[in-house]
Amino acid sequence: MNQLLTFIRKEFLHVLRDRKTLLILFGLPIVQILLFGFALTNEVRNANIAIIDDAHDEASRSIIGMIAASRSFHAHALPGGHSSIDETFRSSGVKLIVLFPANFNTDLMHTQRARVQIIADASDPNTASTLTTYVSAIIADYQKARVQTTSLPYTISTNVRMLYNPQLKGAPNFVPGVMALVLMLVCVMMTSIAIVREKELGTMEILLVSPFKPMLVIVAKVVPYLLLSLVNVASILVLSVYVLDLPVQGSVVLLVAVSTVFIITSLALGLLISTITNSQQTAMLFSMMGMLLPTTLFSGFMFPIENMPLPLQIISNVVPARWYYIIVKSVMIKGLGFTAIWRELLVLVGMTGLLIVISLRKFKVRLA
């Protein structure tokens, strides 16, 4: 036991001595959370849109007022008229133009059929469809308000509720994703490098000729990164609660427990990489290509898995981050308990067990 503590202390010294690693270790989660929280977001805010109002009547002005009040847009009137539409899209940063034809209100009152044209810059399809949805929603709101005052005989009013995330914020989606990404990256890369470094420097041989058990070498290598990763989990959660206003809906204990399982999965992966590589650079390359890429692509937080072709959906099943992502979302955002996540957790635990068995077998006890 004393021997193990000596070893763990040494591992901590390695980590603490290496300022660059330390910066990556603790800077990465903070930078990622802040980046995703404030810069890389799918939410549309302050989009430049232009309005051509040929009607200048009560209805068009009301709608324009509602659009202008929305935080999503930065609206301004386009004085040049129809001929300038193409030019506006090409030269200014305008993403969408709303066009009210003349006699808008009159049409609405007398023919009960009024038209509004929405023209969007679809070179960025996501933004275009988000913006048109927003504008349509505002117009629908206005219509609903009018219907209530005039009372038509038949109306279907849709009552939409956005569960778990009523404001459609981006954070509930990416915080679990960032957690998966950061833990994967830190654990896999750091452990594989920490073990391979001993091989590269020749100190592994010294350790193996010592009476120190090879199994304990692995334990000692893994423990510091397990602890440091838990610190990372804590800092991500603190940031998301206090900076991004995203409270943990479910049990924090369950969340930390599940994260610990995922950290162990990642550590086992790192161990596996260290057994098949002999230099720190190869280990790093393996970790980056083999872990980072599939984790971003197949965990589901950047690209919905349901939208992928079937073969890719099947591949995504072997990516541990995919299961962790589902679990974190369930616990953290939906506030679900153990009964809702046990299947995913079982998959994760199974993967971890398999990885540990394979990597321990590969870890050569005797160098023969």
Partner 1 sequence: MHDVVIRTQELSKHFGAFVAVDKISFDVPAGEIFGFLGANGAGKTTAMRMLSGLSRPTSGAATVAGFDVFTQPEEIKRTIGYMSQKFSLYEDLTVRENITFFGGIYGLSDSAIKEKSDLLIEQLGLQGEVKKLVGSLPLGWKQKLAFSVAMIHDPKIVFLDEPTGGVDPLTRRQFWELIYAAADRGVTIFVTTHYMDEAEYCHRVSIMVDGAIKALDTPRDLKQTYQAPTMDAVFYHLARGAQRSAD
Exactly one of 162, 209, 253, 310 binds partner 1 (CB under 8 A); that residue is 209
CB of 263 to partner 1, least distance (A): 25
Binding segment toward partner 1, per CB under 8 A, in 4-12, 26-34, 279-287, 313-321: 4-12
Binding segment toward partner 1, per CB under 8 A, in 72-80, 198-206, 238-246, 301-309: 198-206
Residue 12 binds to partner 1 (criterion: CB under 8 A): no
What DSSP string runs through 318-352?
T-HHHHHHHHHIIIIIS---HHHHHHHHHHHHHHH
Please, which of residues 15-74 interact with partner 1 by CB under 8 A?
Answer: 17-18
Residue 225 binds to partner 1 (criterion: CB under 8 A): no
Nearer to partner 1, 13 or 168 (CB): 13
Residue 212 binds to partner 1 (criterion: CB under 8 A): yes
SS3 at position 302: coil
The residue ranges of DSSP E strands in 226-353, in sequence order, are none
What is the torsional sign of CA 319, 322, 328, 331?
negative
CB of 23 to partner 1, least distance (A): 16
Residue 137 vs residues 66, 142, 165, 199, 202: alpha-carbon distances, Å: 11, 9, 18, 62, 66
Nearer to partner 1, 198 or 344 (CB): 198
Nearer to partner 1, 138 or 217 (CB): 217
- Please choose, from the candidates 80, 84, 89, 75, the residue with its C-alpha nearest in 3D space to the C-alpha of residue 119: 89
Residue 279 binds to partner 1 (criterion: CB under 8 A): no
Q: Which residues have CB under 8 Å from 35's CB, separation 6+?
A: none
Query: What are the backbone angles phi and psi of residue 277, rounded to the nearest 5°?
Result: -120, 160
Helices and strands per DSSP (H, E), number in the chain:
15, 4
Residue 117 binds to partner 1 (criterion: CB under 8 A): no
Residue 106 binds to partner 1 (criterion: CB under 8 A): no
Residue 152 binds to partner 1 (criterion: CB under 8 A): no
What pairs with residue 118 in β-bridges?
98
Positions that interact with partner 1 (CB under 8 A): 2-3, 5-7, 9-10, 13-14, 17-18, 201-203, 205-212, 366-368
